[in-house]
Structure formats: C-alpha cells, structure tokens
Chain A
Amino acid sequence: MQEAFIAACLYRPPVVLGRQVRPFSPYHALALEAVNSPFAHDPVTGVTPDSLVVAIHTCSLSYADGLHVLLDTAAIQKWGASVGKWDFETTLKVFKRHIADSMVLPVFYHTGDEEDARAPVAWHLATSGMRFLNMTETEAWDCSIAKLVCYRACISEWNGSKSLKSDEEIKGRKILEEIAAREDAEKAKAT
C-alpha cells in the first residue's frame, strides 16, 4: 500500500507555539494564499517570524471559524506576543515538517497531455468532497487534502482510471533499480 493511504488516516498534527494545528486542508491552502503567506508558494522562501506566526495561526483554524477570525490581526498579534521567547529555526522546521507530513499524497502516472485546472486546486478538492463524498461545505473545506486525494483516487479507479501507481508497479521499480545498480557495479568492476 502506498504510504499516503496510511498517513492520510493516521497523521496527527503537532502543537506549534502552543496552538494545535490541523491537517492541511483546502481551506488552509486558500487562506494562506489570501494572506499572501510564503507557505502558499512552492518553493517556500522568505519566511519571517511574523509570517510564520500568521501561517501557524491560519493552519490552526477551521473553515467554520470564518473570515473575521482569519483576518483578526489584533488577536494574532496578541497571541504572538503571548508565546514569549521562541526559536525561529526550530519552529520553522517543525511547521514545515507538519506541512510535508500532512501532504503525503498518493503517486499517480501522468499521460503528459493533461490540461492544468483553471479553477484553483483547493476549490476542486473541496468541490469533489461535496459532490462525491456528500460532505457539507465546512466538512469539505476542513478535510485534509491528503484524505481528499486518496478518496478521489478510489473514485477515479471505480470509474476505470489506472493512473494510481500500484504496489506491483512500486515493487517493479525497486527491482529495476536493483538491476541497474548491479549492472553499474559490474561495469565499474570491469573498467
């Protein structure tokens, strides 16, 4: 089984600077972009202590908390000040690790001629939660992206897609890598 299918169900997010962050959801992706967070971009660059505090605050929220909580800068500043002395590098590392662990996604094959989505990916994911999984709007925006992608992978497979990488295909790659390594070693030995 691909690790993503286990992680999507079993991942438990950490407490960062005293706040319980939530599994990374479509709402978090959208909200981070709305507040122009460095974490909305790939690769993540230019993170400052302030932008890290905002990102942690954002990722501890739910869609149900609403816009006024997301944009309540006075409350964010108050909370930031209440944290006391904290180590930026360590906290950044923990938060980045949370994003990475929360976003372990299944691996798919691509045909190479797929068109990029025109609507934001976060909207596609939330819409798929509502349409195919009968989630409420809040449930869909708050569901972890990893879970939504795993559910979507199952639905696609029911509809005939074979793009998800199978266990045998993962095994095959390992075998081929072993063969290639053995051949390289033999070549090196011969020369």
Chain B
Amino acid sequence: MSAIQRGVTLAVSFGSFSLTGYVPSKVTVTYPDGNKKEIRDVNGAMMTKIFMDPMTKLECDVVVLSTASIKAPKDGIGVAITPPEGTATTMMSEGSTADFEAGETRLHFKLVLEDSMAGKYPTT
C-alpha cells in the first residue's frame, strides 16, 4: 500500500470499469487490530494474543476522466488497484462513494483487505 500516495496515477478496476486515475489528496492506510483475544495460562499470565480478522484499510480519493456515469463500487465488491510500477491488489469496497464534475468522476474509495480474504473478493 505504500506505493499509493498523493500525486500518483494508478490503475483502478471494478465491475466493468478499468480506469487510469489520479490520487489528489492524502491517502490513509490503517491496520486495525481492535478485535483481539488474549490467551492466558492458569495463573492469569498472558501466553499469547490472537488477532481476529486482521485487515488493511485504505482510504483515498481517485480522480478519473469519464463521460459515462460511474457508480461507486457497492459494499463487498472487489476493487483492484495497481500502483505505478506495482502489482494489482484487490480489496473489498466498504462505504465507497462517487461524485461528479463535467467529464470527470471523483471516487472516494474506502477499501479493506482482510488477510484471510486476499484475492477472494467478488468483482461484480
């Protein structure tokens, strides 16, 4: 995810769209681990921590040129993002939105990549 940052062009695809986009503003990447369990021994000392559903969360705006109307990817749909000189990463859309200006769409992506689900998100 470190290759996705402000000021770069990247390829995005979801549904029937495959577009070159530009990242105009700050990109936020987080690794939430709020859902964790601590395993303790009989004396109450911590033996280990189990992280449940660890994931990477990516939030960014992408400007794309389009004369056709583009709808934001629905929740649960896979969005592939290929950063410059990088390989595609498919993440799951969760709360992405789109807004428009003449001949242009700004996609606000909210994407998650659950470690256990890498590459397994539906594309339509």
> Interface residues, chain A, CB within 8 Å of chain B?
107-112, 163, 165-166, 168-169, 171-173, 175-177, 179-180
Q: Is B110 an interface residue (CB 8 A)?
A: no
Instruction: Tell me if A168 and B6 are in contact (CB < 8 A).
Output: yes
Interface residues contributed by chain B, number (CB under 8 Å): 21
Q: Is B89 an interface residue (CB 8 A)?
A: no
Give the residue among B6, B64, B104 with the most A Cβ atoms within 10 A.
B104
Chain A residue contacts of B101, Cβ below 8 A: 107-110, 165
| Cα distance, A32 to B22, chains bound together (Å) | 42
Specify the chain A residue showing the minimal Cβ separation from B103.
Answer: A173
Chain B residue contacts of A171, Cβ below 8 A: 22, 24
> Interface residues, chain B, CB within 8 Å of chain A?
6-7, 9, 20-25, 61, 63-65, 69, 97-101, 104, 106
Instruction: Tell me if A112 and B106 are in contact (CB < 8 A).
Output: no
Specify the chain B residue showing the minimal Cβ separation from A170.
Answer: B24
| Cα distance, A107 to B63, chains bound together (Å) | 14
Instruction: Tell me if A109 and B65 are in contact (CB < 8 A).
Output: no
Known interface pairs A109-B106, A168-B6, A169-B63. Does A176 touch B22 (Cβ–Cβ under 8 Å)? yes
| Cα distance, A45 to B47, chains bound together (Å) | 81
A146 to chain B, nearest CB (A): 18
Q: Which of B63, B97, B98, B100 contacts A172 (CB 8 A)?
A: B63
Q: Which of B7, B9, B98 contacts A168 (CB 8 A)?
A: B7
Chain A residue contacts of B7, Cβ below 8 A: 168
Instruction: Tell me if B99 and A176 are in contact (CB < 8 A).
Output: no
